[in-house]
Amino acid sequence: MSAEPTPFAQVDDMPPQIRALILGALERMAASPEIQRVRRVAQAALDPRPGQRLLDVGSGVGEVARQLAAAVAPDGEVVAVDASAAAVAVATDRHDGSAVTYAVGDITALDFPDASFDGVRTERVLQHLADPDAAVAELARVTRPGGRVCLVDTDWTSVAGDGLPDDLVDAIWRAVPARQHHPTMGRTLRGRLVRAGLAEVRCEPVPLWFTDPESASAVIPVFNKEIPREAGIIPDELRDRWFAAVDAAAARDEFLAVLTIWVAVGVTPARTRPA
């Protein structure tokens, strides 16, 4: 597995143009009906209740935190933490007056005491980390006994489709995973929660599907023509042929792309006090 950090692991270190593209991509994803479907499954798994204090880590531009604030109203609150100061600035800009506070922080070293939240979640963050299990342990640490830890992540190896030449698809997908820390993250979430000692662990695969490249491009970067060549998502020598094939599939109305995002949840056990 490559240890090369992904752009999402270092948003603030990206050139301004790429940073703006990344943050814009998060807003586009939030608007995708398929991502909204994943988030409904995740919200049911986290099961927010009025009065609770919740944490969303790697909160991006903050829409989920704001949705959760509505679920814990009138006297609950949500904390949204992201490693990127630029993401936190956009999230703060989008603030709607609900009970959300935004902060910069690292999922592997959270600045909160043990058991400070009734529930915590993280969405499409673990795939970008060098040590995702350290992050899961940290999420469990800050959750009160009996509280829920909800993980959402993509299985990039599940991407499949129709309408495009097999050899081209193979070449593109051979190139893409090399840039990711953990392409299989989604399907490993359940095991990670079990190994971290959570109880009542459940998981659910949510298949996303797209019948046009425009909607697919909000979620699957290889279909996004706006991502510049320099980002290196698509090998330069394949780029023109790739997008010509994607356009041709769309023109024939044969374009199909699917991928699976997993939602997993577990309950934090009572802590045993050291003797």
Ligand X SMILES: C[S@@+](CC[C@H](N)C(=O)[O-])C[C@H]1O[C@@H](n2cnc3c(N)ncnc32)[C@H](O)[C@@H]1O
Based on CB atoms, which residue is closest to ligand X, 226 or 247?
226
Q: Is there a contact between 79 and 54 (Cβ–Cβ < 8 Å)? A: yes
| Binding to ligand X in span 22-41, by CB under 6 A | 26, 29
* 98-110 burial code (b ≥16 CB/10 A, e <16): bbbebeebbbbeb
Q: Going residue by residue from 68 to 97, which x/- string records binding to ligand X, judged by CB under 6 A?
A: --------------xxx--x----------
Based on CB atoms, which residue is closest to ligand X, 33 or 145?
33
The answer for 27, left when phi > 0, alpha when psi is -120 to 50, beta otherwise, is alpha
Stretch that binds ligand X, among 51-59, 176-184, 222-230, 231-239 (CB under 6 A): 51-59
| 67 counts as binding ligand X under rule CB under 6 A | no
Q: How many residues bind ligand X (CB under 6 A)?
A: 21
User: Would you state the structure tokens that stand for residue 175, as one six-digit string?
Assistant: 């190139």
| Binding to ligand X in span 98-137, by CB under 6 A | 106-108, 123-125, 128-129
What strand order describes the sheet that includes 53-57? 100-104, 77-82, 53-57, 117-123, 143-162, 256-267, 199-210
Based on CB atoms, which residue is closest to ligand X, 16 or 74?
16
User: Would you state the structure tokens that stand for residue 152, as one six-digit string?
Assistant: 């959402």
Distance CA 140, CA 185 (A): 18
| 57 counts as binding ligand X under rule CB under 6 A | yes
Whole-number minimum distance, CB 61 to ligand X, in Å?
A: 7
User: Would you state the structure tokens that stand for residue 60, as one six-digit string?
Assistant: 């991006």
User: Would you state the structure tokens that stand for residue 177, as one six-digit string?
Assistant: 């995973």
Distance CA 52, CA 54 (A): 6
Whole-number minimum distance, CB 189 to ligand X, in Å?
A: 14
Based on CB atoms, which residue is closest to ligand X, 87 or 245?
87
Whole-number minimum distance, CB 162 to ligand X, in Å?
A: 26
| 8 counts as binding ligand X under rule CB under 6 A | yes
Q: Which residues bind ligand X (CB under 6 A)?
A: 8-9, 11, 26, 29, 57-60, 82-84, 87, 106-108, 123-125, 128-129
